[in-house]
A and B are shown apart, each in its own frame.
Chain A
Amino acid sequence: SQTIHQWPATLVQPVGSPLSLECTVEGTSNPNLYWYRQAAGRGLQLLFYSVGIGQISSEVPQNLSASRPQDRQFILSSKKLLLSDSGFYLCAWSRDRSPSGNTIYFGEGSWLTVV
Protein backbone atom coordinates (compact mmCIF):
# COMPACT_ATOMS: atom_id res chain seq x y z
CA SER A 1 0.00 0.00 0.00
CA GLN A 2 1.03 3.59 -0.51
CA THR A 3 2.18 5.83 2.32
CA ILE A 4 3.21 9.43 2.53
CA HIS A 5 5.65 10.80 5.06
CA GLN A 6 6.17 14.43 5.88
CA TRP A 7 8.65 16.00 8.30
CA PRO A 8 9.29 17.69 10.54
CA ALA A 9 5.87 17.63 12.16
CA THR A 10 6.46 20.91 13.95
CA LEU A 11 9.11 23.56 13.86
CA VAL A 12 9.70 27.03 15.16
CA GLN A 13 11.96 29.23 13.08
CA PRO A 14 13.12 32.84 13.47
CA VAL A 15 12.28 35.42 10.85
CA GLY A 16 14.88 35.46 8.11
CA SER A 17 15.97 31.87 8.61
CA PRO A 18 15.75 29.21 5.87
CA LEU A 19 13.11 26.51 5.65
CA SER A 20 13.08 22.97 4.37
CA LEU A 21 10.07 20.69 4.65
CA GLU A 22 10.42 17.25 3.14
CA CYS A 23 7.88 14.79 1.86
CA THR A 24 8.29 11.29 0.47
CA VAL A 25 5.81 8.84 -0.96
CA GLU A 26 6.25 5.09 -0.77
CA GLY A 27 4.58 2.28 -2.66
CA THR A 28 3.93 4.01 -5.97
CA SER A 29 5.88 5.46 -8.87
CA ASN A 30 5.60 8.70 -10.80
CA PRO A 31 3.04 10.27 -8.47
CA ASN A 32 1.74 13.80 -8.84
CA LEU A 33 2.93 15.71 -5.77
CA TYR A 34 1.48 18.75 -4.07
CA TRP A 35 2.14 21.28 -1.33
CA TYR A 36 -0.85 22.95 0.29
CA ARG A 37 -1.14 25.43 3.12
CA GLN A 38 -4.11 25.19 5.43
CA ALA A 39 -5.22 28.32 7.26
CA ALA A 40 -8.26 28.72 9.48
CA GLY A 41 -11.20 30.03 7.50
CA ARG A 42 -9.30 29.88 4.23
CA GLY A 43 -9.33 26.17 3.52
CA LEU A 44 -6.50 24.53 1.62
CA GLN A 45 -4.47 26.76 -0.62
CA LEU A 46 -2.51 25.02 -3.36
CA LEU A 47 1.07 26.27 -3.35
CA PHE A 48 2.92 23.98 -5.76
CA TYR A 49 2.39 20.81 -7.70
CA SER A 50 4.66 18.55 -9.67
CA VAL A 51 3.92 15.94 -12.31
CA GLY A 52 7.49 14.71 -12.65
CA ILE A 53 11.09 15.07 -11.53
CA GLY A 54 12.23 18.65 -11.86
CA GLN A 55 8.78 19.82 -12.98
CA ILE A 56 7.30 22.38 -10.61
CA SER A 57 4.18 24.47 -11.10
CA SER A 58 3.67 27.41 -8.77
CA GLU A 59 0.17 28.52 -7.95
CA VAL A 60 0.78 31.41 -5.61
CA PRO A 61 3.78 33.74 -5.94
CA GLN A 62 5.31 34.11 -2.52
CA ASN A 63 8.32 33.59 -0.39
CA LEU A 64 8.44 29.84 -0.95
CA SER A 65 9.81 27.45 -3.53
CA ALA A 66 9.51 23.74 -4.22
CA SER A 67 11.79 21.13 -5.70
CA ARG A 68 11.47 17.52 -6.74
CA PRO A 69 14.93 16.00 -6.84
CA GLN A 70 13.66 12.42 -6.98
CA ASP A 71 10.51 10.74 -8.24
CA ARG A 72 8.89 10.36 -4.84
CA GLN A 73 10.45 13.27 -2.99
CA PHE A 74 9.04 16.77 -2.77
CA ILE A 75 10.66 19.60 -0.82
CA LEU A 76 9.24 22.96 0.23
CA SER A 77 11.85 25.62 0.88
CA SER A 78 12.42 29.23 1.71
CA LYS A 79 15.63 31.21 1.83
CA LYS A 80 14.30 33.76 4.34
CA LEU A 81 11.14 33.13 6.30
CA LEU A 82 8.58 35.83 6.97
CA LEU A 83 6.12 35.98 9.82
CA SER A 84 3.33 35.47 7.29
CA ASP A 85 4.79 32.08 6.34
CA SER A 86 3.53 30.63 9.61
CA GLY A 87 0.92 27.98 9.07
CA PHE A 88 0.08 24.34 8.54
CA TYR A 89 1.65 22.80 5.45
CA LEU A 90 0.37 19.65 3.84
CA CYS A 91 2.05 17.41 1.33
CA ALA A 92 -0.16 15.26 -0.88
CA TRP A 93 -0.01 12.87 -3.79
CA SER A 94 -2.24 11.52 -6.50
CA ARG A 95 -1.81 9.18 -9.40
CA ASP A 96 -3.54 9.44 -12.74
CA ARG A 97 -5.26 6.46 -14.24
CA SER A 98 -5.16 4.58 -10.98
CA PRO A 99 -7.88 2.19 -9.79
CA SER A 100 -8.79 4.73 -7.14
CA GLY A 101 -9.53 7.24 -9.84
CA ASN A 102 -7.33 10.24 -9.17
CA THR A 103 -7.99 10.62 -5.47
CA ILE A 104 -5.56 12.89 -3.63
CA TYR A 105 -4.00 11.63 -0.42
CA PHE A 106 -2.56 13.79 2.30
CA GLY A 107 0.28 13.56 4.75
CA GLU A 108 -0.12 14.46 8.37
CA GLY A 109 1.15 17.99 7.93
CA SER A 110 3.82 20.26 9.35
CA TRP A 111 3.17 23.12 11.73
CA LEU A 112 5.48 26.04 11.05
CA THR A 113 5.71 28.94 13.45
CA VAL A 114 7.89 31.86 12.44
CA VAL A 115 8.91 34.02 15.40
Chain B
Amino acid sequence: AQSVSQHNHHVILSEAASLELGCNYSYGGTVNLFWYVQYPGQHLQLLLKYFSGDPLVKGIKGFEAEFIKSKFSFNLRKPSVQWSDTAEYFCAVRPGTYKYIFGTGTRLKVLA
Protein backbone atom coordinates (compact mmCIF):
# COMPACT_ATOMS: atom_id res chain seq x y z
CA ALA B 1 0.00 0.00 0.00
CA GLN B 2 1.12 3.53 -0.60
CA SER B 3 2.52 5.27 2.43
CA VAL B 4 4.38 8.39 3.49
CA SER B 5 7.00 8.38 6.24
CA GLN B 6 8.08 11.41 8.20
CA HIS B 7 10.95 10.35 10.39
CA ASN B 8 11.10 13.37 12.68
CA HIS B 9 8.06 13.56 14.93
CA HIS B 10 9.24 16.43 17.11
CA VAL B 11 11.92 18.96 16.27
CA ILE B 12 13.11 21.79 18.49
CA LEU B 13 15.34 24.50 17.03
CA SER B 14 16.58 27.89 18.00
CA GLU B 15 15.82 30.86 15.81
CA ALA B 16 18.17 31.21 12.84
CA ALA B 17 18.98 27.51 12.84
CA SER B 18 18.60 25.58 9.60
CA LEU B 19 15.76 23.14 9.16
CA GLU B 20 15.42 19.91 7.23
CA LEU B 21 12.41 17.64 7.63
CA GLY B 22 12.54 14.25 6.03
CA CYS B 23 9.79 12.71 3.92
CA ASN B 24 9.84 9.40 2.08
CA TYR B 25 7.06 7.77 0.15
CA SER B 26 6.40 4.32 -1.22
CA TYR B 27 5.09 4.39 -4.77
CA GLY B 28 6.93 3.62 -7.95
CA GLY B 29 4.92 5.63 -10.44
CA THR B 30 4.39 9.29 -11.15
CA VAL B 31 3.52 11.25 -8.05
CA ASN B 32 2.51 14.72 -7.02
CA LEU B 33 4.15 15.78 -3.76
CA PHE B 34 3.12 18.36 -1.20
CA TRP B 35 4.06 19.92 2.09
CA TYR B 36 1.31 21.35 4.24
CA VAL B 37 1.63 23.39 7.42
CA GLN B 38 -0.76 23.75 10.33
CA TYR B 39 -0.06 26.71 12.60
CA PRO B 40 -1.50 26.56 16.12
CA GLY B 41 -5.25 27.03 15.99
CA GLN B 42 -5.35 27.28 12.22
CA HIS B 43 -6.34 24.99 9.40
CA LEU B 44 -4.00 23.16 7.06
CA GLN B 45 -2.35 25.32 4.44
CA LEU B 46 -0.30 24.48 1.39
CA LEU B 47 3.38 25.27 1.81
CA LEU B 48 4.66 24.03 -1.53
CA LYS B 49 4.09 21.36 -4.13
CA TYR B 50 5.87 19.43 -6.84
CA PHE B 51 4.21 18.23 -10.03
CA SER B 52 6.92 18.10 -12.65
CA GLY B 53 10.01 19.89 -13.91
CA ASP B 54 12.66 21.33 -11.63
CA PRO B 55 12.97 18.99 -8.64
CA LEU B 56 13.85 21.90 -6.37
CA VAL B 57 10.60 23.58 -5.43
CA LYS B 58 10.29 26.89 -3.64
CA GLY B 59 7.29 27.69 -1.50
CA ILE B 60 6.03 30.41 0.75
CA LYS B 61 7.92 31.92 3.70
CA GLY B 62 11.34 30.84 2.46
CA PHE B 63 10.67 27.11 2.45
CA GLU B 64 11.92 24.81 -0.28
CA ALA B 65 11.85 21.09 -0.96
CA GLU B 66 13.82 18.80 -3.19
CA PHE B 67 12.35 15.83 -4.99
CA ILE B 68 14.86 13.01 -5.33
CA LYS B 69 13.19 10.32 -7.38
CA SER B 70 15.86 7.69 -6.82
CA LYS B 71 15.44 8.03 -3.07
CA PHE B 72 11.65 8.43 -3.08
CA SER B 73 12.19 11.51 -0.97
CA PHE B 74 10.81 15.03 -0.76
CA ASN B 75 12.61 16.73 2.12
CA LEU B 76 11.61 20.17 3.34
CA ARG B 77 14.27 22.78 4.09
CA LYS B 78 14.60 26.30 5.35
CA PRO B 79 18.00 27.99 5.84
CA SER B 80 17.00 30.05 8.87
CA VAL B 81 13.87 29.39 10.90
CA GLN B 82 11.86 31.96 12.80
CA TRP B 83 9.75 31.70 15.92
CA SER B 84 6.68 32.07 13.70
CA ASP B 85 7.55 28.80 11.94
CA THR B 86 6.40 26.89 15.00
CA ALA B 87 3.77 24.58 13.58
CA GLU B 88 3.05 21.03 12.50
CA TYR B 89 4.27 20.05 9.05
CA PHE B 90 2.76 17.31 6.89
CA CYS B 91 4.18 15.69 3.81
CA ALA B 92 1.68 14.26 1.32
CA VAL B 93 1.73 12.30 -1.91
CA ARG B 94 -0.88 11.95 -4.62
CA PRO B 95 0.08 8.64 -6.22
CA GLY B 96 -1.63 9.05 -9.55
CA THR B 97 -5.16 8.58 -8.25
CA TYR B 98 -7.71 10.73 -6.49
CA LYS B 99 -6.26 9.91 -3.10
CA TYR B 100 -3.88 12.05 -1.09
CA ILE B 101 -1.77 10.12 1.40
CA PHE B 102 -0.36 12.07 4.33
CA GLY B 103 2.49 11.40 6.68
CA THR B 104 2.17 11.42 10.46
CA GLY B 105 3.43 14.98 10.71
CA THR B 106 6.37 16.72 12.35
CA ARG B 107 5.86 19.17 15.18
CA LEU B 108 8.39 21.96 14.97
CA LYS B 109 9.04 24.24 17.89
CA VAL B 110 11.28 27.23 17.36
CA LEU B 111 12.73 28.82 20.45
CA ALA B 112 13.04 32.59 20.43
Interfacial residues, chain A to chain B (CB-CB below 8 A): 32, 34, 36, 41-46, 49, 51, 57, 59, 90, 92, 94, 96, 101-109
Contact = CB atoms under 8 A, between A and B. Distances in A.
B72 to A, nearest CB: 18
Interface residues of B, number: 22
B99 A49 contact: yes
Per DSSP, are chain A's interface residues mostly helix, strand or loop, or mixed?
strand
B104 A32 contact: no
Nearest to B32: A102
B103 A107 contact: no
Contacts of A107: 43
A43 B100 CA distance: 12
Interface of B: 4, 6, 9, 32, 34, 36, 43-44, 46, 49, 51, 90, 92, 94, 98-105
Contact of A44 (B90, B94, B98): B90
